[in-house]
Chains A and B, each alone.
Chain A
């Protein structure tokens, strides 16, 4: 019994990481209706960026966030203004195909530069530290930190959207870019900022992923799928829903793994399908898909 409870707790904590994966994807879709197929590959790119900075200089992985996050934000802004803005429009094909192309380019560039070997970030003692919470269950410090970060990111985004001028500009552009431009908002710049913000979160997610587990250049697409599943399970437009979706996905995976190591990921995917069949709008939908 304790064993199962422990499995569920670990799944909930894993959900924090998935919520971090999903927040950037959800943000880009919410503001510019852009689904970035390369989202998972950008997470892996951020992870390798962390490795490239932390390993040669022996820097603490958490400190390298100070470089990775702004670097990813810059990549996001340039990418949006330089490439992705040109793909936005009624037709869904161009953004999908361009980001799919980017996904393949990133995967193969990373393979060329870092080889196909598995790598990871070493954060020292924190990786194995845990806090006993009673009843024989212990919570790892690192997974807890990831979950706390995910919650902090969501609270931060909520505050940004509701309390600041730039948040208002984000919402206005999302609702109606043409009218927003009449009010003096530069939609292209706003889209650039939105992607910068999404990529900054991707930067955090990537570094945490590399600390938590070993990575290789080809695992990006699977992260995209987890992020996507968390968004759909939670319901479009709701960041707290996305956190809940990530947690449900995490629990499904850890429970699946406990039953049979081959079933973990499969259980996650099947949970997603079940939600899609029985609650097509997700658990906590805020907006309806058009």
Chain B
């Protein structure tokens, strides 16, 4: 009976994996193994660069989630990086908690503070939301710059928080944390986008009005993405200042963080998971070649981003994916007729 039915109706399968995605999974596992073992064989300089690469990748994924999927173009994500950094100061230095546990708490603090922040900035729409988030970041910067307990405007050294931890362990754990945060950001974004919430989020990205009419709670989705992204940025903020061991309001709440996120995502391709990875690679390559030219490197990055936005708005990855249909992290559901289905086609 069931045989007859399958023969009559064209059989189909919902495809959620591609050959590239199986390759992507294998590559991710291999990269993970290589990186986790690096403290035993890798050089210090390489590990430092890789740490930076990983946290920039994490930041870019967070911004991509916000701007690429949530439609929330924030230029104030440095607020949560800075709050994460200063939460680390409070937990690890003032309260004496383990410095690595404090990084996790940094993320939580940023997420908690993001809740009342969202209540205010969500009153602004579109472009005004963008500038509003920037004002909020400035408010946090100035509040901390006025707090003598946290070192005021000149900041303070975090070295005492890692005192007593052997250097090798400190560097290795920091590096593993960077791996967890960098790859974790990619993986969690991927899993989120493949879930039913991801479907809703993608719908919000494509059309707010249409998704709302189909029952997607647009405001809730945006709120969730905003808080989640703050959590990620807070984690990274904690991590960044373990590696730098010195924090000041100007460095922690610098708009440069947002500039980097924006370059990486726009160059790589907004609204895809592969985009920020490609963008981070390009960013590091450009920075490596242009670092001897002072501020020219930022000028070139700015120009590249402006030209790409005008000529190739989907970024490098968007351009590649449109031509070759390669998806290492497929988040879409695609209907494919199976063999028997093809036979039954008229």
Chain A residues with CB under 8 Å of chain B are 29, 34-35, 37, 83, 86-87, 92-98, 100-102, 104-105, 107-109, 111-112, 221-222, 224-225, 228-229, 232, 260, 262-263, 265-266, 269-270, 272-273, 276-277, 280, 289-290
B147 to chain A, nearest CB (A): 10
B interface with A by C-beta (< 8 Å): 67, 73, 75, 120, 123-128, 130-132, 134-136, 138-139, 142-143, 145-146, 153, 255, 259, 262, 266, 270, 294-296, 298-299, 301-303, 305-306, 309-310, 313
- CB-CB under 8 A from A269, the residues of chain B are 135, 138-139, 142
| Among A107, A111, A229, contact of B135 (Cβ-Cβ < 8 Å) | A229
- The answer to whether A37 touches B75 (Cβ under 8 A) is yes
A92 to chain B: which residues have CB within 8 Å?
A: 73, 126-127
Q: How many angstroms between the C-alpha atoms of A266 and B138 in the bound complex?
A: 8
Instruction: List A contacts of B302 (CB < 8 A).
Output: 101-102, 104-105, 108
List chain B residues, Cβ under 8 A from A34. 127
A-B contact pairs, 26 of them (CB 8 A): A35-B127, A37-B130, A83-B310, A87-B310, A92-B73, A93-B73, A96-B73, A97-B73, A97-B262, A97-B305, A100-B259, A101-B309, A104-B298, A104-B299, A109-B299, A112-B299, A221-B255, A225-B138, A228-B135, A266-B139, A266-B143, A269-B138, A269-B142, A273-B135, A276-B120, A276-B123
Contact at B296–A112, with CB atoms within 8 Å? yes
A229: chain B residues within 8 A (beta carbon):
135
B143 smallest CB distance to A (angstroms): 7
Partner of B75, one of A29, A100, A108: A100
Q: Which one of B132, B298, B302, B313 has the highest number of Cβ atoms from chain A below 10 Å of its Cβ?
A: B302
Cβ contact within 8 Å between A273 and B130: no
**Given A101-B309, A276-B132, is A108 in contact with B298 using a C-beta cutoff of 8 Å?**
yes
Q: A52 vs B297: C-alpha distance in the bound complex, in angstroms?
A: 24
Known A35-B131, A92-B126; 19 more pairs at CB < 8 Å? A29-B127, A37-B131, A86-B310, A93-B67, A93-B73, A94-B313, A97-B309, A98-B306, A104-B301, A105-B299, A111-B295, A112-B296, A221-B134, A232-B128, A262-B153, A269-B142, A272-B135, A273-B136, A290-B125
- Give complex CA distance A280, B128 in Å: 12
- Contact of B309 with A35 in the complex, beta carbons under 8 Å: no
B residues less than 8 Å from A95 (CB atoms): 127
- Nearest CB in chain B to that of A86: its residue: B310
- Chain B residues lying within 8 Å of A83, measured Cβ to Cβ, are 306, 310
| Chain A residues near B75 (CB-CB < 8 A) | 37, 96, 100
Give B77 Cβ to nearest chain A Cβ, in Å: 13
User: When chains A and B are docked, how far (Å) is the Cα of A68 from the Cα of B48?
Assistant: 47
B54 to chain A, nearest CB (A): 24
Q: A279 CA to B134 CA in the complex, in Å?
A: 20
Chain B residues with CB under 8 A of A272 = 135
Q: Are B305 and A101 in contact (CB under 8 A)?
A: yes
Contact in complex: A35, B130 (CB < 8 Å): yes
Which residues of chain B are within 8 angstroms of A225 by Cβ–Cβ distance? 131, 134-135, 138
Instruction: Give the Cβ gap from B228 to chain A, nearest Cβ, in Å.
Output: 20
Residues of A within 8 A of B299 (CB): 104-105, 108-109, 112
Whole-angstrom distance between the alpha carbons of A83 and B131 in the complex? Answer: 21
Chain B residues in 8 Å Cβ range of A262: 142, 145-146, 153
- Which residues of chain B are within 8 angstroms of A107 by Cβ–Cβ distance? 298
Complex CA–CA separation, A190 to B114 (angstroms): 41
Name A265's closest neighbour in chain B (CB-CB): B142
Give the most central of B75, B295, B313: most A CB within 10 Å: B295
Q: How far is the CB of A278 from chain B (nearest CB, A)?
A: 11
Smallest distance from the beta carbon of A116 to chain B beta carbons, Å?
A: 9
Whether A108 contacts B296 by the Cβ 8 Å rule is yes
A102 adjacent to B306 (CB under 8 Å): yes
Bound CA span A94–B270, Å: 11
- Taking a contact as CB atoms under 8 Å apart, the answer to whether B303 and A101 are in contact is yes
B142 touches A96 (CB 8 A): no
Which of A105, A109, A276, A277 is in CB contact (< 8 Å) with B306? A105
Min CB distance A223 to B, Å, is 12
Residues of A within 8 A of B306 (CB): 83, 97-98, 101-102, 105
A265 to chain B, nearest CB (A): 6
CB distance from A128 to the nearest CB of B (A): 29
In the bound complex, CA of A265 to CA of B142 (Å): 8
Q: B146, A276: Cβ atoms under 8 Å?
A: no
Q: Which residue of B lies closest to A232 (CB)?
A: B128
User: B295 to chain A: which residues have CB within 8 Å?
Assistant: 108-109, 111-112
A100 to B132, CA, bound (A): 14
Contacts of B73 in A (CB 8 A): 92-93, 96-97
Which residue of A is nearest B294, CB measured? A112
A103 to B, closest residue via Cβ? B302
Per the bound structure, the CA–CA distance linking A94 and B127 in Å amounts to: 11
